[in-house]
A = this chain, B = another copy of it.
């Protein structure tokens, strides 16, 4: 399979695999540290000044889209119009207009799309999902989700909402996606507060945001996201989720999964999760086999666009 990479601001590296031919890259100028190093591991790769030119010239089977967050939709539309599969950083769009344009381009294309919903592919959340489906905790009633990141070094475009979107979209989409996935339901009402501060010297950046969600099946949820994690912490993120059912509670903390049921607390063994990129490209003939399919990519993006009301 031949792929091209457009930008390197997020999780592009999840697509870098030994058997994948890297036909070209196109830089945004705001690549994450480590981009060149990772690309160089794949030998001398042609670098193109524009992604349109790159696609025309390389005609890859698939593009990895990871530019400024506000450019994802334009880049994806460009690929879908050429029938090229899209592996896109989340969120795939940062406003309703972009979302609709992308959805229409997808409907008109034969190409498939996946968003980098990486949380589904972490053993702790993957095993949580399996236990929920096995009805270990009965019916879900309430979910509390947390994403807490170190801010660290971030590119300048985080200062500009038209390029960055907002922190709830960028960080909270993982929690929102897990909530939609676990409940197999949809959001019927939501409320949201961004911190509204110019944070870390980045104008227009929210250092935190909170939301409550009400789902079609009656489940309530809280989501809290922040960039306020200790710079010296052991791990980049302190991601948690508490899933309360009528027959028990499942919780993820420190990448471990705990079950509280019948007066007992136990840590559960984690299953190996599929690789997110391989799950996409190995199931192009049957997207129903994927943990996160085209529909999940759109639903999670639509949800964070709606919640944050852009």
Contact = CB atoms under 8 A, between A and B. Distances in A.
Given A141-B208, A212-B210, A222 B222 contact: yes
Given A144-B146, A191-B212, A212-B191, A249 B220 contact: no
Interface residues of A, number: 41
A142 interface: yes
Contacts of A1: none
Number of copies of chain A assembled together: 2
Nearest to A219: B195
A220 B230 contact: no
Interface in A190-237: 191-193, 195-197, 207-212, 214, 218, 220-224, 226, 228-230, 232-234
Contacts of A148: 244
Contacts of A209: 220
A248 interface: yes
Interface stretch (A37-45, A99-107, A255-263, A277-285): A255-263
A189 interface: yes
Contact of A193 (B212, B234, B249): B212
Contact of A212 (B212, B228, B229): B212
Given A210-B212, A210-B221, A220-B193, A226 B261 contact: no
Nearest to A214: B193
Contacts of A144: 144, 146, 222, 224
Given A146-B144, A195-B141, A232-B262, A226 B212 contact: no
Interface of A: 141-142, 144, 146, 148, 189, 191-193, 195-197, 207-212, 214, 218, 220-224, 226, 228-230, 232-234, 242, 244, 246, 248-249, 260-263
